[in-house]
Amino acid sequence: MKTNNPAFPSADHDHKHCVSLALKNAEAYCLQQGLRLTKLRHQVLELIWANHQPVGAYELLEQLTQEGRKAAPPTVYRALDFLMENGLVHRISSRNAYVGCSHAGHDHTAQFLICETCGQVAELDDARIGSVITKDADQLGFTVAQWTLEISGICDQCKRGTADE
């Protein structure tokens, strides 16, 4: 399965391509896995992919409502649960927000670079990190189930003053 661009997308990148790729991947993945990517879930996933910034659940709720859907908090949280369980979306717990997965279907653990200026998130997938973690854990007899790494800072574009927001 093809992945989306892992790094920070430039202000003028073809984001429609990001969206359609993510949706197409999700559709294919769900089909293949026998998962029901319902209209609601598809809609939420598309809203999440509106940009590369993590989005809050209540923000999604508001947008769903604006799009004419009858929605309450559980509507959103259930869709998010489905999307997260199936690796299509990640939660950025340091922000209580959600972001589309750039490596959906890969079976990976998430590593995020979060720009404090533009709010954009890039997803890393550096195997070395997982390997160091596993080694450390092994030494302590700790069995790793999952982990998240959230890195805050300033992205290249923001340093250069070319961010899109």
Q: Which DSSP category does 33 fall into? A: H
CB atoms within 10 A of CB 97: 20
Q: List the single partner that 74 binds among its own copies, Zn ion, DNA, none, CB under 5 to 8 Å by kind.
A: DNA
Q: Give 85's Cβ-side CA count (13 Å radius).
A: 12
Member of 33, 156, 162, 165 binding its own copies (CB under 8 A): 156
Member of 25, 75, 86, 102 binding DNA (CB under 7 A): 75
Q: Which is nearer to DNA, 38 or 152 (CB)?
A: 38
We find the least distance from the C-beta atom of residue 1 to DNA, in angstroms, to be 21
What binding mask, one character per residue, do residues 102-121 give for its own copies by CB under 8 A, x or -?
-----------x-xx-----
How far is it, in rounded angstroms, from Cα 164 to Cα 45? 22
Q: Which DSSP category does 107 fall into? A: -
CB 121 within 8 A of CB 153: no
What are residue 100's DSSP bridge partners?
89
Member of 55, 118, 155, 163 binding its own copies (CB under 8 A): 155
Q: Which is nearer to DNA, 18 or 57 (CB)?
A: 57
